[in-house]
Amino acid sequence: MASSIFKYVFTDFLKPMLQLLLFVFPAFYAAVFSLLLVFAFVVFLGRNPPPATFVFDPQVIAIADPANASGLPFPAPPHANTSLGVGRKESPENASDLAPAAANHSTEAEKGRGGSPEKGQKASESGKDLATCDLFDGRWVFDESTPMYPPGSCPFIDSSFDCLGNGRPDQNYTKLRWQPKGCSIPRLEGKKMLRALRGKRLVFVGDSLNRNMWESLLCILRHPLKRKHRVFEASGRKEFRTDNSYAFRFEGYHPSSLLSFLVGGGFRSCASCSRTAQDYNCSIEFFRSPFLVRESSRVDSQGKSRETLRLDLIEASSDAYRTADVLVFNSGHWWTHEKTSKGYEEEHAAARRNFYQEGDHVYPQLSAEEAYRKAMRTWGTWVDTRVDSNRTRVFFRGYSWSHFSGGQWNSGGNCDGETEPITEDRHLAKYLKLTGILESVIGEMTTPVLYLNITRMTDYRKDAHPSVYRVPAGKRKPGGFQDCSHWCLPGVPDAWNELLYAMLLRELS
């Protein structure tokens, strides 16, 4: 009896107690101890937070980046000793030493253009501050460190811009960097730009040349990221030519996200915890809108439906991008015919009959230039009245040259075999009328439009179009059209994005 009671006490009471003491309690203490450790670590991190990252909002800039902290949201990028320390007054040279250097520089640059593109400039040549220099007055220089993403490495490039993939043998066209006369532009560092765009939308609106630029930016921003799968088209599309709009999400995510969430939740306001949960949370989008105004149709006297262009109405999807943080517009190629075979003479844009419409009125005939002026004014009024310029930076990218010789795009015009840029200014084209119209409309607007004046810089680059390499060798037809309008990627649009970045920095400093 006693033994059975003892056995009962032992098996049902003492033994479990012993087990509890031996196994569960140590585990419990270990757990408590490690929780304390984690807590201590979190407290430590909370007291020593990583430096507040720059945010694009003008209001937040003021908080995150007091004007006199360092003058700049980003540290000055290292750039082959030519860095000027964007927006900073400090410079390797004395200010008084800079003026003559800048003044003499232009003549040096002129000489440089006469010959072949030269190696990157010396620091002494980069005279003026980025803040005041004309970014679009410069030349192309050979630079082994370009391009910003290796050829063939980016899955977002449309096959018709993928010259290397389509068998283009030479690669020098990917190694030219744009060098303004009066300053150096900061190298576009993808991660820094993404951090600046955290929680923001950057939207390209325009024709296929803006798609060219959009794809270039996607590749530039994606290349330095480790977790490339965190960059994806919002609805999973893998082809970027046919639809009217695309949105790429750059989410980013790092292992400390959970921790920063805890830190954010525990020691800061919860606004910062939602922000830190994703690294970038930024969206880089493209809206196809080659005219910027609305494509429409009407029924003619024979009862047939005819296409028209409403010069008085902004394009229908404009509400979808009106509130973006950065807008980059373009429009040009669809208004005018391409250059003639005789050099780069501007061809008088052909009038299109019964195409342009304002209200109920269809113009029997209107020159493309007049139509362009009306459309750009419609666009300008829309920007001035519907876009909040405190929130949104509005860019317009100017006309990008085509280089068809021996015919037009659809009549045997070609540019294959061009492997070097134009080096002599006298071979450049006359200024284009459309550009003058655009510049005057922008000048009349109340919104400060940031004008990417790339017309001349593209004129040099007859070497950088896809030409026959718009299609893979196997699918090429003899006598097929060449593409001397768009640009191979990597290539010229990368430089436009560098200038876009430089202008954004300039805006923010």
Ligand X SMILES: *[C@@H]1O[C@H](CO)[C@@H](O)[C@H](O)[C@H]1NC(C)=O
Closest approach, Cβ 66 to ligand X, in A, equals 6
State which residue, 317 or 423, has the beta carbon closest to ligand X. 423
Catalytic residue of the set 126, 208, 400, 467? 208
Closest approach, Cβ 508 to ligand X, in A, equals 16
Locate 73 and state its tokens: 């949201």
Closest approach, Cβ 95 to ligand X, in A, equals 9
Closest approach, Cβ 273 to ligand X, in A, equals 9
Give the footprint of ligand X on this chain (CB under 6 A).
67-68, 80-81, 93-94, 97, 100, 103-104, 116, 136-137, 142, 170, 172, 199, 201, 274-275, 277-278, 281, 388, 390, 419, 439, 451, 453, 456
Catalytic residue of the set 331, 459, 486, 494? 486
User: Is 208 considered catalytic here?
Assistant: yes
User: Is 216 considered catalytic here?
Assistant: no
State which residue, 48 or 68, has the beta carbon closest to ligand X. 68
Task: Kindly provide the residue ranges of all beta strands, DSSP E only, lying in 392-494, ordered along the sequence.
Answer: 393-397, 450-452
Question: Residue 112: left if φ>0, alpha if ψ -120 to 50, beta else—which one?
Answer: alpha
State which residue, 277 or 351, has the beta carbon closest to ligand X. 277
Locate 456 and state its tokens: 């001349």
H or E segment to which residue 222 belongs: helix 208-222
Task: Report, in angstroms and rounded to the nearest whole number, the Rg of the chain calculated over CA atoms.
Answer: 29
Which class for 160: exposed (0-12), middle (13-18), buried (19 or more C-beta within 10 A)? middle
Q: Which amino acid is at 382?
A: W
How many Å apart are CA 328 and CA 286, to the nearest integer? 9
State which residue, 245 or 274, has the beta carbon closest to ligand X. 274
State which residue, 368 or 457, has the beta carbon closest to ligand X. 457
State which residue, 191 or 353, has the beta carbon closest to ligand X. 191
**In this structure, are residues 316 and 233 in contact, taking their beta carbons and an 8 Å threshold?**
no
Closest approach, Cβ 509 to ligand X, in A, equals 14
User: Is 483 considered catalytic here?
Assistant: yes
Distances (CA, A) of 482 to 219, 242, 485: 24, 20, 9
Closest approach, Cβ 357 to ligand X, in A, equals 30
How many Å apart are CA 434 and CA 330, to the nearest integer? 12
Catalytic residue of the set 483, 485, 494, 509? 483
The b-or-e profile of 198-228 (16+ CB within 10 A means b, else e) is bbbbbbbbbbbbbbbbbbbbbbbbbbebeee
Upper half-sphere CA count for residue 502 (Cβ side, 13 Å): 28
Q: What residues act catalytically?
A: 208, 483, 486
